[in-house]
Amino acid sequence: MRVGIGYDIHRLVDGRKLFLGGVEIPYVKGLLGHSDGDVVMHALADAMLGALALGDIGLHFPDTDPQYKDISSGELVKKVLTLVKKRNLVVNNADTMILAEEPKIHPFRDKMVETLSKVLNVAKDRVNIKATTVEGVGSIGKGEAIAAYAVVTLGREEVDI
């Protein structure tokens, strides 16, 4: 079993669509980024690369590379999944935590779990989305940014635990 951790934070700005966990969420702002700015997908990709001991997404998908401009971040996770498969490994489970003052995440939770289970090619009961506000503290609390953490375990095969 291998374990990896990922973290990401992006600035909330006007004039962008908000994508979290591969789901478009109606909101007045969106996350700034070279890609679609989906911090959940970025944290997941980093967690998978961490479990593989293969660096981070900045190394694999530089934000100076035009081919990743406005890319759906689920595509980045799928590219990392090919590296997982290359090692004869599979995703065992993924747990994520979204830190956002607004909007409410819970109405979109099931859709995110469904999307992530498809992207990661695992059953829905192996993917979790958690969300919390930060009680108005700091840049996230002021609604200037959204962050996400992810932990992923990889195994030789899907183990029944």
Query: Which residues of this protein are in contact with Mg ion, per CB under 5 A?
Result: 8, 42
DSSP state of 103: S
Closest CB to Mg ion among residues 35, 92: 35
d(CA 62, CA 138): 28
On whether the CB atoms of residues 41 and 130 are closer than 8 A, the answer is no
Q: How many CB atoms lie within 10 A of CB 123?
A: 10
On whether the CB atoms of residues 131 and 100 are closer than 8 A, the answer is yes
Closest CB to Mg ion among residues 68, 108: 68
CA dihedral 27, 144, 32, 121 (to 10 degrees): -70
Closest CB to Mg ion among residues 34, 130: 34
Closest CB to Mg ion among residues 42, 126: 42
On whether the CB atoms of residues 124 and 117 are closer than 8 A, the answer is yes
CB of 43 to Mg ion, least distance (A): 8
Reduced to 3 states (helix: H, G, I; strand: E, B; else coil), residue 161 is: coil
CB of 3 to Mg ion, least distance (A): 21
Closest CB to Mg ion among residues 8, 101: 8
CB of 42 to Mg ion, least distance (A): 4
Closest CB to Mg ion: residue number: 42
CB of 85 to Mg ion, least distance (A): 23
CB of 63 to Mg ion, least distance (A): 8
H or E segment and range at residue 20: strand 18-20
